[in-house]
Amino acid sequence: MKIQLALDRLTIEEAIAIAEKAEQEIDWIEIGTSLIKEFGVKSIKEMKKRFPNKFIVADIKTFDNAKYEFEMCFQAGADIATVMGAAPAVTLDVCVETAERFGKKVMIDLLNTLEENLKYIEQFDNVVVCKHISKDQQEHGGKAQWVSLSVSGHQEVAAAGGIGIDTLAELKKLNPDVLIVGSAISKAEDPKKAAREIRKAWEALS
Ligand SMILES: O=C(CO)[C@H](O)[C@H](O)COP(=O)(O)O
């Protein structure tokens, strides 16, 4: 299992400082959508510059203009960029083609993705699919659940949205390869300890 630290609603400097604290206990670093919206690709560039050996995920949540947005992320140093699974098929195709051309990866966020697109997404190899409970669902939507759909055997599975020690048992049933953890690490007094405790608790569930 990999831990992807999601960094949202922070300045670039704050995000780097948190990643530095948690560095040894996390695998991938996500530049959250909010950072990309607020500070642009500078946030990706700065993070890659500080962590050249870490896998950097640009959570750009592309829905259109895929070639332009994905090239921009990869040229800035991202190793993975995200696209919404609900996007038109052509957009998904262009994301996959662009990532292949750069030797990089695509993460497909399955938030609100309907059956037709879920079927379409099954064909892609070498992508990560992300089962995501959104911030709005967490904060205003009552109790949302991670979708339990089965995915193609060639695809890695990530889960995101309010993950912390108390949600691990429920998540274990989905058997994700990547746990995307934001607030539970970024808001912790000791981000390194918080990440270590999540990993230990996950391993104890095995
Ligand atoms: O994609 C995201 C927001 O759109 C976040 O990466 C994801 O929700 C993780 O953050 P948290 O653990 O705080 O929910």
Q: What are 119-173's pLDDT values in tens digits?
A: 999 999 989 999 988 888 888 876 667 666 666 668 999 999 999 999 999 899 8
Rounded Cα distance between 26 and 101, Å, is 28
Does residue 187 or residue 132 have the better pLDDT? 187
**Strand pairing of 28-31 and 55-62?**
parallel
Helix (H, G, I), strand (E, B) or coil at 102: helix
Name the percent of the chain lying above pLDDT 90.
85
Ligand 1 pocket test: pick from 18, 56, 135 the residue with the most ligand atoms within 8 Å of its Cβ: 135
Q: Quick one: which atom of ligand 1 is closest to the CA of 32? A: 6
Mean pLDDT for 58-78 is 98
Using DSSP, state whether 56 is helix, strand or coil: strand
Is 59 close to ligand 1, i.e. is its CB under 6 Å away? Answer: yes
Ligand 1 neighbour 162 (Cβ under 6 A) = yes
| Mean pLDDT score of the chain | 94
Pocket lining: 180 vs ligand 1, CB cutoff 6 Å: yes
Q: Which of 9, 57, 180, 186 to mutate to test the pocket of ligand 1 (most atoms within 8 A of CB)?
A: 180
**Relative to the CA of 187, which ligand 1 atom is closest?**
13
Supply the pLDDT for residue 48. 98
Three-state SS for 121-145 is HCCCCCEEEEEECCHHHHHHCCCCC
CATH at residue 84: 3.20.20.70
* Number of domains within the chain: 1
Confidence (pTM): 0.95
Mean predicted confidence (pLDDT) in 105-110: 97
pLDDT of residue 137: 84
Q: What is the DSSP string of 34-48?
A: HHHHHHTTHHHHHHH
Q: Predicted ipTM?
A: 0.93
Determine whether the shortest distance from the Cβ of 161 to ligand 1 is under 6 A.
yes
Task: Compute φ and ψ for 189, nearest 5 degrees.
Answer: -60, -35
List pLDDT tens digits, range 13-29. 999 999 999 999 999 99
How high is the pLDDT of residue 138? 80
* Tokens 């996007």, located at residue: 87
Cα 17 to ligand 1 centroid, rounded to whole Å: 18
What domain range is 116 assigned to? 2-205
The tens digit of pLDDT for each residue in 29-54 reads 999 999 999 999 999 999 999 999 99
Strands annotated E in the chain: 2-7, 28-31, 55-62, 80-84, 105-109, 127-132, 156-160, 178-181
